[in-house]
Amino acid sequence: MHRDNETVRLEAFSDGVFAIAMTLLVLQIKVPRHEAVALKGLAQSIVALWPSYLAFSTSFITILVIWIHHHWIFKLINRDGHALFYWNGLLLFCVSFIPFPTALLSEYLIHPDARVASTLYSGTFLATSISLFALWRHASLHLLSPSASEQKIDEAVQLTNQYRYAPPLYFLVFILSFISESWSAGLCLLLALTFAFGGWPDKGNH
């Protein structure tokens, strides 16, 4: 109960930012213009939007996964404090920036300059994964309840192990984006799916 009083509004506010950033992504899928449709038909024009669908799906799943992790972190901690507001604010900053590189990738994935769009896209995800890692590091070092149950500590250890891999993996995808924009974009989707399905803390009752 006491925990609620301290972090409940921070969680609700963060949820708002996550939910809005995810839902705004759809605005980046542009309805084909009448001139283009006159040329090649609506069906083909919609199919030609596949970079938009790819970017939408990847960003949506990534933000959803970040939200789930955020949810876990706040289930384990029971206090707030100055620094938590900073690290959480940094994470929200990254998350609410994501719609821009998503729109950029949608527009320029099939273009000679696709590499630039892909670099900014994976670079944003790299920054986001680092800020999530920093938030977790701070929370696990300072805000775990001193009287945490053994199960909670187990979960914390598992999350720590998992977060260790996210920033270096996104760093590799970022480096790769200088070489091949399609591989890099595809791996962003693969990573999001991996973290979604692979990384659940192992709990009996869950």
60 binds a second copy (CB under 8 A): yes
Q: Which of 156, 15, 30, 137 is nearest to 87 (CA)?
A: 137
141 binds a second copy (CB under 8 A): no
Q: How far is the CB of 24 from a second copy (least distance, A)?
A: 6
Q: How far apart are CA 4 and CA 148, in angstroms?
A: 16
The set of long-range contacts for 109-116, using a CB threshold of 8 Å and a minimum separation of 24, is 109/51, 109/54, 109/55, 109/181, 109/182, 109/185, 110/51, 114/181, 114/182, 115/177, 115/178, 115/181
Q: How far apart are CA 59 and CA 101, in angstroms?
A: 10
With contacts defined by CB under 8 A, name the span among 80-88, 131-139, 156-164, 176-184 that binds a second copy.
Answer: 80-88
Range list of H helices, the chain: 2-24, 34-47, 50-76, 82-97, 99-108, 114-142, 150-176, 181-198
108 binds a second copy (CB under 8 A): yes
51 binds a second copy (CB under 8 A): no
87 binds a second copy (CB under 8 A): no
Q: What separation in angstroms does the CA of 4 have from each of 11, 71, 80, 122, 200? A: 10, 13, 10, 35, 24
Nearer to a second copy, 117 or 127 (CB): 117
Among 55, 66, 73, 92, binds a second copy (CB under 8 A): 92
Nearer to a second copy, 12 or 150 (CB): 12
Q: How far is the CB of 109 from a second copy (least distance, A)?
A: 11
Q: Which amino acid is at 46?
A: I
With contacts defined by CB under 8 A, name the span among 85-93, 139-147, 156-164, 169-177 that binds a second copy.
Answer: 85-93
Residues that bind a second copy (CB under 8 A): 9-13, 15-27, 29, 31, 34, 37, 41-43, 46, 56-57, 60-61, 64, 67-68, 71, 79-82, 85-86, 89, 92-93, 96-100, 103-104, 107-108, 111, 113, 116-117, 120, 196-197, 200, 205-206
